[in-house]
């Protein structure tokens, strides 16, 4: 089940709506390559899920924030609300938080209409968030879950450093 949620998240990551024709674009080759890479480097990825190295990859729009669309901004507000209001003291609480964050993340993905470089940079921000949420569903200790919650919170809030 946990791997299914992660796989669904990856599938959703590479599928965003095209603003002009509202058709869903799916990159199956990217999914297969990404899945193979993740399987080969599972241990390495698990260690890196706590960092925010994606901030070294994301770009600004000529020194300015990228223009985002309304549905993406609404989805990020949902993510912020969820992480800020869901109480977490037990492992079950953290797993429930992961479930709720996954729903909010799916809202962003399903309703995204961004295109071009802004959309590409959204994926730089979003991909690590998907990995972190998936990892939170698989945590086995409150200590690990707490660390992940903290880095997820940082990831979500950093959205506003790059998008308006």
Model confidence pLDDT, tens digit, residues 13-38: 444 554 434 333 444 444 455 444 44
Tokens at residue 159, please?
């959205």
Is 99's pLDDT higher than 80?
Answer: yes
The answer to whether 118 and 73 have CB atoms below 8 angstroms apart is: no
Query: Does 124 map to a domain?
Result: yes
> pLDDT tens for residues 112-123?
999 999 999 999
* pLDDT of 146 higher than 70: yes
Residue 71 covered by a domain: yes
In the chain, pLDDT over 90 holds for what percent of residues? 68
Residue 18 counted as domain residue: no
Q: Is the pLDDT of residue 133 over 90?
A: yes
Q: Does residue 38 sit within a domain?
A: no
146, part of any domain: yes
Task: State yes or no: pLDDT of 75 exceeds 80.
Answer: yes
Contact 5, 135 (CB under 8 A): no
What's 57's DSSP letter?
T
- Whether 123 is in a domain gets the answer yes
| Range(s) of the domain holding residue 126 | 67-162
Based on the structure, what is the number of domains in the chain?
1
What global pTM score does this model have? Answer: 0.74
Assess if residue 126 is contained within a domain: yes
- Tokens 């729009």, residue? 61
Judged against a pLDDT cut of 50, whether residue 102 lies above it is answered with yes
Quick check: is 118 in a domain?
yes
CATH code for position 133: 1.20.120
Nearest to 13 by CA among 153, 110, 95: 110
The pLDDT value given to residue 57: 94
CA distance 143 to 34: 29
């Amino acid at each position: 089940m946990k791997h299914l949620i992660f796989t669904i998240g990856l599938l959703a990551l590479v599928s965003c709506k095209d603003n002009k024709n509202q058709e869903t674009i799916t990159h199956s080759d990217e999914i297969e390559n990404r899945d193979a890479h993740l399987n080969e480097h599972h241990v390495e990825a698990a260690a890196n899920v706590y960092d925010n190295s994606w901030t070294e990859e994301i770009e600004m729009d000529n020194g300015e924030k990228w223009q985002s669309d309304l549905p993406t901004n609404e989805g990020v507000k949902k993510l912020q609300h969820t992480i800020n209001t869901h109480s977490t003291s037990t492992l079950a609480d953290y797993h429930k938080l992961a479930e709720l964050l996954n729903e909010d993340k799916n809202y962003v993905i399903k309703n995204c209409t961004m295109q071009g470089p802004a959309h590409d940079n959204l994926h730089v921000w979003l991909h690590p968030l998907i990995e972190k949420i998936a990892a939170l569903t698989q945590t086995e200790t409150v200590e690990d879950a707490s660390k992940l919650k903290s880095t997820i919170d940082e990831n979500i809030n950093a959205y506003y450093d790059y998008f308006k």
